[in-house]
Amino acid sequence: MQPTTTQRRQSDGPDDFDTWRALQKSTDKKRADIIADLVGHPSGLASVEELDYMNPPLSEDAIRRHLNTLREVGVVRRREFETGNRVQGYPYQFYEITEEARALFDRNGLFPESAWQRQYASVEKTSRIREIESMPRPEV
């Protein structure tokens, strides 16, 4: 039996949010680690560089592939600064958990925000990562 729920369309995600597919893709260990870091990030919007720092065994390319998989099933959404608003040498694309995925995780007791925020905050970060962490994020 596969539980599915159809919800509203995401701006850069699938037409329908399929909870079964979302759960399948989210429970992969490496993708779950990325989701936990997105949930724990102080702004809720993390760059690939920040995710790379938090997941040293993964390359930036691997992180991007996992993020694309999560985007395809509507778990993650990408936001980016428009060309004129980008700062050279700093990330301009950021990723966040979608509302549908957050609701799914909450219903199933997955990725509790307070726990992952504490975990994320406890990690010692380089000055570069702290600087990126505190930079502005794209508006909705």
* Predicted structure pTM score: 0.86
How many domains, in total, are found in the chain? 1
| Any domain includes 140 | no
The residues near 139 (Cβ < 8 Å, ≥ 6 apart) are none
Please report whether residue 6 resides in a domain. Answer: no
Q: Domain of residue 43: give its range.
A: 19-81+89-133
Q: How many residues does the chain have?
A: 140
Q: Give domain status of residue 139, yes or no.
A: no
Task: List, for residues 108-133, the tens digit of each pLDDT value.
Answer: 999 999 999 999 999 999 999 999 99
CA distance 63 to 135: 21
Cβ contact 1:68 at 8 Å? no
Average model confidence (pLDDT) for the chain? 90
The pLDDT of residue 140 is above 90: no
In a domain, 67, yes or no: yes
Residue 4 maps to a domain = no
Decide if 3 is inside a domain: no
The CATH number assigned to the domain holding 60 equals 1.10.10.10
15 band by pLDDT with thresholds 50, 70 and 90: low
pLDDT at 10 over 90: no
